[in-house]
A = this chain, B = another copy of it.
């Protein structure tokens, strides 16, 4: 494919992404569901969560050992009479007699009157007494109540996506359920008379529809609930019907195909009269783009070549959708190119498919370079499966030498 100049009206990638993000950002204010903590993994807190109790709930032992008063062992060696045992789970409210020891298990309450714990392995224990070889400081191996968190302290901010460590904290303070945002809901409409579903026999001129399945997978992998995936022929009335169903059910609608300069551009033909802005963004692949608000619902119209669709999703939708879901930002790196990029279109950011090269002996293994995989063509969807990053070739570059530092974005 030849490099071609961007049209004079082509918009910069970042500016167009800014428009999309502005339309999607209000989706941060979604309604909340109450879900049991064990089912809340990966959900996003709708409100700050504060601890309903002190943790530790009570003063307890950090070790299996013997609760004593430090002053009882100030002169050592010394033998102390054994005045009982407190297992974890015991109420442990019998006070420590002066000059005695009480055996305590890890997590068991410290008997009133004791101020330190001597680990079991540091003691010679007899039937009724223990011998201690050296002095101890008050507080040793004692966990004071409230030293992890106090009643009313913040456990996690609103907006936190709940990872196992948050689930552990919520469970430890005994919260049975939490309030989480419902996920962003998306609908997908693919278009094109040439597309047929997997499992069909291909007739001449037909290809399998991958965009619906691929966009649904990409949305699902980025915290979005896909409420419908539909396919429209190039007949405007059919597209319009599917569009109305989609905007009725979803917070955001994604379409693929029908946005370019052909004679049968069903998406553009239907959405432009509804106020849609269609035009070129200065990137390759994924140049032709459309953005419309239909009944208050943003409709993002991506071009139909499979790689164009996926790259459009990565560049324009994935960062904001991840932010809305409380997911960490897309990983980015700045790495040297292993090989030259011989040609890149003047005035367009090119997103090449690339693969990270990791240090063979690194520990941890960190990416040290990136290689281009597959070609630049927007139809090379099988080749894209071998990539793990997009290589972001700047708009002004028409070529890049081997070793040039480039930005890359994890797929």
Cα distance A174–B200 when bound, in Å? 8
Cα distance A100–B304 when bound, in Å? 28
Q: List 7 A-B contacts (CB under 8 A).
A: A58-B205, A107-B207, A107-B304, A143-B377, A165-B214, A171-B210, A364-B407
Cα distance A407–B362 when bound, in Å? 12
Check A174 against B155 for contact (C-beta < 8 Å): no
Give A213's nearest chain B residue, CB to CB.
Answer: B171
Q: Which of A368-405 contact B (CB under 8 A)?
A: 374-375, 377-385, 387
Check B148 against A382 for contact (C-beta < 8 Å): yes
B92, B119, B149: the one contacting A204 at CB < 8 Å is B92
Which of A108, A212, A217, A305 has most B Cβ within 10 Å? A217
A43 to nearest B CB, angstroms? 11
B119, B167, B204, B304: the one contacting A213 at CB < 8 Å is B167
Check B306 against A172 for contact (C-beta < 8 Å): yes
Check B168 against A381 for contact (C-beta < 8 Å): yes
Number of residues on chain A facing chain B (CB within 8 A): 117
Check A89 against B260 for contact (C-beta < 8 Å): no
B1, B58, B172: the one contacting A208 at CB < 8 Å is B172
Check A167 against B383 for contact (C-beta < 8 Å): no
CB-defined interface of A259-298 with B at 8 Å, one 1/0 digit per residue?
A: 0111110000000000000000000000000000000000
Cα distance A379–B260 when bound, in Å? 60
A133 to nearest B CB, angstroms? 14
Cα distance A199–B171 when bound, in Å? 10
Is A47 located at the chain interface by the 8 A CB criterion? no
Check A62 against B379 for contact (C-beta < 8 Å): yes
Is A175 located at the chain interface by the 8 A CB criterion? yes
B153, B166, B202, B381: the one contacting A169 at CB < 8 Å is B381
- Given known A-B contacts A148-B379, A364-B407, A385-B155, A205 and B92 have beta carbons under 8 A apart: yes
Check B171 against A214 for contact (C-beta < 8 Å): yes
Check B174 against A41 for contact (C-beta < 8 Å): no
Is A239 located at the chain interface by the 8 A CB criterion? no
Q: A174-B200, A363-B407 are in contact. List 8 more A-B contacts (CB 8 A).
A: A58-B204, A62-B377, A87-B193, A103-B263, A121-B261, A171-B212, A332-B364, A364-B407
Is A354 located at the chain interface by the 8 A CB criterion? no
Is A241 located at the chain interface by the 8 A CB criterion? no
A269 to nearest B CB, angstroms? 14
**A167 / chain B contacts, CB cutoff of 8 Å:** 213-214, 217
A18 to nearest B CB, angstroms? 15
A314 to nearest B CB, angstroms? 9
Cα distance A58–B204 when bound, in Å? 8
Check B169 against A106 for contact (C-beta < 8 Å): no
**A202 / chain B contacts, CB cutoff of 8 Å:** 53, 57, 174
Check A164 against B57 for contact (C-beta < 8 Å): no
Give A310's nearest chain B residue, CB to CB.
Answer: B168
Cα distance A155–B380 when bound, in Å? 12
Cα distance A306–B149 when bound, in Å? 14
Check B221 against A171 for contact (C-beta < 8 Å): no
Which of A167, A210, A382, A411 has most B Cβ within 10 Å? A382
Check B168 against A205 for contact (C-beta < 8 Å): no
Is A38 located at the chain interface by the 8 A CB criterion? yes
B120, B206, B210, B377: the one contacting A172 at CB < 8 Å is B210
Cα distance A87–B60 when bound, in Å? 77
Check B174 against A385 for contact (C-beta < 8 Å): no
Cα distance A217–B329 when bound, in Å? 22
Give A384's nearest chain B residue, CB to CB.
Answer: B165
**A333 / chain B contacts, CB cutoff of 8 Å:** 364, 366
Is A22 located at the chain interface by the 8 A CB criterion? no
**A181 / chain B contacts, CB cutoff of 8 Å:** none
Is A234 located at the chain interface by the 8 A CB criterion? yes
Is A365 located at the chain interface by the 8 A CB criterion? yes
Check A192 against B88 for contact (C-beta < 8 Å): yes
